[in-house]
Amino acid sequence: MKTEHNVPVNGRIRVILPEDMSIETSSLVNNCFRLDKSNRQTRLDCTANSSNNSFEVMVRSSTFGINGLQGNEQFQVQVSGFRNPKEVSVTVAFKIQSFDDSERLIDESDPSSGFTITMKSIGRLGSITVIPASATNGAATTYGFRVVPGVTISFGD
């Protein structure tokens, strides 16, 4: 990504995930890196906020230099700990904001700026076991289904 304006030291970049995604907080905090042009990793100071489905990259002098992140400077971050949207063929968008060290908004992504993803392939249910209560042929009986879903099931699914 590139920001239009500078983000000073102790400012932050906030990435708000689409509603249908979620964050595994500890995984994200421990696996948040800046990648240089050769894809070498530098660990970043990142925080995750699962309540508003966002994470923040803190702009520290140790990783961004004493002038912080410069406007129009290519910035690549690699983070782990996301759960993909569960619906396929639905395009969802990320929102990206930058703030100064006093929490004042500097830049904000435009909804049409293309920070979107679309799931292409459907996930598989982990496993299903079927247990008939009766093994007698032709009997009207109760069938138990034990399911390991592999995806989050929400109200109304």
Partner 1 sequence: MLPTTYYVQCDGDSNIVVSNCVKTDERALLITFATVSSRYNSAEPFSFFVRGVSNPASFKESGPFSNIKLVSRSGNEIAKFEDSRLTIKNSIKSSIANFSLR
Binding residues for partner 1, per CB under 8 A? 83, 86-90, 122-128, 130, 132, 134-157
Minimum CB separation of residue 135 from partner 1 in Å reads: 4
Q: How far is the CB of 6 from partner 1 (least distance, A)?
A: 40
Residue by residue, DSSP assigns 21-85 as -EE-HHHHHHSEEEE-TT--EEE-EEEEETTTTEEEEE--HHHH-TT-BPTT---EEEE--EE--
Closer to partner 1 by Cβ: residue 4 or 19: 19
Least distance from C-beta 122 to partner 1, angstroms?
5
Q: Among residues 26 and 134, whose Cβ is nearest to partner 1?
A: 134
Nearer to partner 1, 66 or 140 (CB): 140
Cβ at position 32, least distance to partner 1 in Å: 23
Rounded to whole angstroms, the Cα distance separating 120 from 20 reads 15
Non-local CB neighbours of 45 within 8 Å, separated by 6+ positions: 32, 57, 58, 60, 63
Complex with partner 1: residue 65 or 126, whichever CB lies closer: 126
CA-to-CA dists, residue 30 to 15, 38, 42, 106, angstroms: 17, 21, 12, 27
